[in-house]
Amino acid sequence: MSHAKVRNLTPNQWQKQPAGWFCLNIDGSVSPVSNFGSVGGVVRDHVGNWIIGFHKAVGITAPLQAELWAILQGLEVAWSHGFELLLIQSDFADAVIVNLVNDPNSSLSPTSLSNSLADGIAKLPSPLMHDVALFSSPLVGLQDVFSPDMSTLSTVTQA
């Protein structure tokens, strides 16, 4: 299995990446009633264009585990499509800390404002257990989240 190269950034909105880099926005969601979780995310190119989105049910779980499942599933989707230069964005600080403890040379960028699209995908009705749903374009119900992201893009410099 390949290992993604990551950059350490903490933007307040989705930001353009250097050419050749991709952004993986991920999120996990857990129902407070059933504890049933699902994960979702999107891979974007360096200018913010949607490349591929994903959604998967993960069963009964806790919020931290759902977020970690989202990271794993997002990496599997990105790597299976050949995307290795990744900025991984998660809005769940505990998952960022777990990742840094396990691999001090990697980083995740915790951003709430720039992760609303992944949050919307994670909260979609769950597909069949263990099936990953892939989306080649933004879903109709998430266009209102994707479009504002694209209109507020700014360029970022590497930290």
Written as six digits, the tokens of 57 are: 């049910």
pLDDT tens by residue, 44-78: 999 989 999 999 999 999 999 999 999 999 999 99
Domain 20-138 has CATH 3.90.420.10: no
Q: Which tops the pLDDT comparison, 118 or 18?
A: 18
Spatial contact of 64 and 92, defined as CB atoms under 8 Å apart: yes
Pick from 128, 121, 125, 127: which is nearest to 145 by CA?
A: 121
Tell me the domain boundaries of the chain: 20-138
Spatial contact of 63 and 30, defined as CB atoms under 8 Å apart: yes
Quote the pTM value: 0.67
In angstroms, what is the C-alpha Rg of the chain?
14
- Model confidence at 113, pLDDT cuts 50, 70, 90, reads very low
Angle in degrees, CA 125, 129, 131, rounded to 5: 90
Pick from 90, 97, 42: which is nearest to 66 by CA?
A: 90
pLDDT tens by residue, 18-49: 899 999 989 999 999 999 999 999 999 999 89
**Pair type for strands 22-30 and 36-44:** antiparallel
Written as six digits, the tokens of 53 are: 């989105």
CA distance 137 to 49: 9
